[in-house]
Amino acid sequence: MAALNELKEQAIEILKSNDMGGYTVPTHGLYPFQWNWDAAITALGWMKTDESRAWQEIDLLLKGQWENGMVPHIIFHQQVDSYFPGAKKWGVEKALPTTAISQPAVLASIVKMMTEQAQDKALAKTALARILPQLVEYHHWWYRDRDPENSGLVVSYHPWESGMDNSPAWDKSLAAVPPVDYSYTRRDLDHVDSDERPHAKEYDRYLYLVDFFKAANFDSDVIYRDCPYKMYDVGIISILHKATKDLVELCRADASQAEHVATFEARLKLTETAVQSLWNEEQQSFLNQDAITKEQFPVLTTGTLLALYGELATTEQAEKIQTVLRDWLAITPYAVSSTYAKCEAYEPQRYWRGPVWLHINWLLALGLATYGFEQEQQQLKASASDLIHEAGYYEYFNCETGAGCGGDAFSWTAAIALHWLL
Ligand code: DGY
């Protein structure tokens, strides 16, 4: 078992070795660009060793922001062939190529944390003044383009947008998307065992959606009308909700942005009411719902638990979720598995179908603390800590054996360890 200091040094070393001169790749080879929520979380790790580098991570992520406010899920800062689908396949013709979807909007929450924990307050103040208008535009984009009918629930158009790509929560909706009819070469399997990655049937549909966005000229109205995959994703909704609450506080403290407070507060209220339609009494949980067919999926995942992080559950609902979570923690020994082991589609080692992700466990721990569930919070933190002590800094971990899975020397795992566990 590695000593604490040694683990800290290793984590900092990982950030440095993944640093591409201002942005951090999640891991070399498998993910050779800058990812949206990875960058935000990785910045928290940089805060522990180099604050100016942490702010730079956010600046470079926001360099990829679209004119309409979207912050894309991947920023292709350079051409690298070890990943598919790259910039060419996405077909976004901009000076800085990106994908055409976003990712869970944890960014504003993390920027707020960074300003609070900054030692260099002057640096943080200048950085925030620069970044805040871009965060405001990003959140307006979510509500305007992803909830154009003001329902209170934003939609997501791709499993990659959820950040929980291969979750069984999307299986049925993704199966309704046509597969592509051409062959292609996946690059992820050059880096990771196939039993830890999605199957071909999922990739065929991921690519169909990529082609669809391009054929729609990335037009938000056309995509909203015609996209064959539209999901009310509890994870995305909850993370956005918490981030909007944090953004409101940041805007209140800056006179130049205060005009946005009322609009965001109205959105918060709308979501708090609308999210109740996703509550399922039988499952004692919020559930993801297909926004086209309106079918709810009784698949409990860490995404559905994130309603606690989003502070969207009533006290009574939170207690019901706590009961489910106790059972969840009792079945699988390591932290909170990404899919509840009682679900049919659960697999302890396959991407988002069972393994443990540290950053999600950290978000859950924050949610548990909000609701006063101290014991579960401590339990989760202790077993998350066991994972890095026993296996190191992998992308994710087998929730039954604790073995490292996916990419090694992984930035967000190192960053969350520095921020939360060490
Ligand atoms: C991948 O390619 O697996 C990524 O998770 C997409 O964001």
**Which positions ≥6 away from 248 have C-beta within 8 Å?**
261, 264, 265, 268
Q: What angle do CA 1, 39, 367 make, to 5 degrees?
A: 70
Instruction: Tell how far CA 35 is from the center of its chain.
Output: 10
What pLDDT sits at residue 79? Answer: 95
Q: Which of 82, 102, 158, 160 to mutate to test the pocket of ligand 1 (most atoms within 8 A of CB)?
A: 160
CA nearest ligand 1 atom 1, residue: 160
Six-digit token string for 164: 């929980």
Six-digit token string for 90: 């996405």
Enumerate residues lining ligand 1, CB below 6 A. 73, 160, 165, 188
CB 248 within 8 A of CB 261: yes
Set 51, 196, 376, 395: catalytic member = 395
Q: How far is the CA of 64 from the centre of ligand 1 (A)?
A: 18
Q: What are the per-10-residue average pLDDT scores of the chain (422 residues)?
A: 88 98 98 98 98 98 98 97 97 97 98 98 98 98 98 98 98 98 97 95 98 98 98 98 98 96 98 98 98 97 98 98 97 95 96 98 98 97 96 98 97 98 94
Q: How far is the CA of 198 from the centre of ligand 1 (A)?
A: 10
Q: Which of 25, 31, 103, 166 to mutate to test the pocket of ligand 1 (most atoms within 8 A of CB)?
A: 31
Q: How far is the CA of 197 from the centre of ligand 1 (A)?
A: 10
Q: Which residue has the tokens 């999600």?
A: 360
What pLDDT sits at residue 1? Answer: 59
Q: Which helix (H) or strand (E) holds 138?
A: helix 121-146
Set 59, 165, 171, 311: catalytic member = 165
CB 44 within 8 A of CB 24: no
What pLDDT sits at residue 3? Answer: 86
Cα separation, 275 vs 278, whole angstroms: 5
Q: What is the DSSP string of 62-122?
A: HTT--TTS---SEE--S--SSSSS-HHHHT--SSS-B-SS-----HHHHHHHHHHH-S-HH
Neighbours of 281 (CB within 10 A): 8
Q: How far is the CA of 340 from the centre of ligand 1 (A)?
A: 22
- Whether 395 is a known active-site residue: answer yes
End-to-end CA distance of the chain: 14
Cα separation, 194 vs 297, whole angstroms: 26
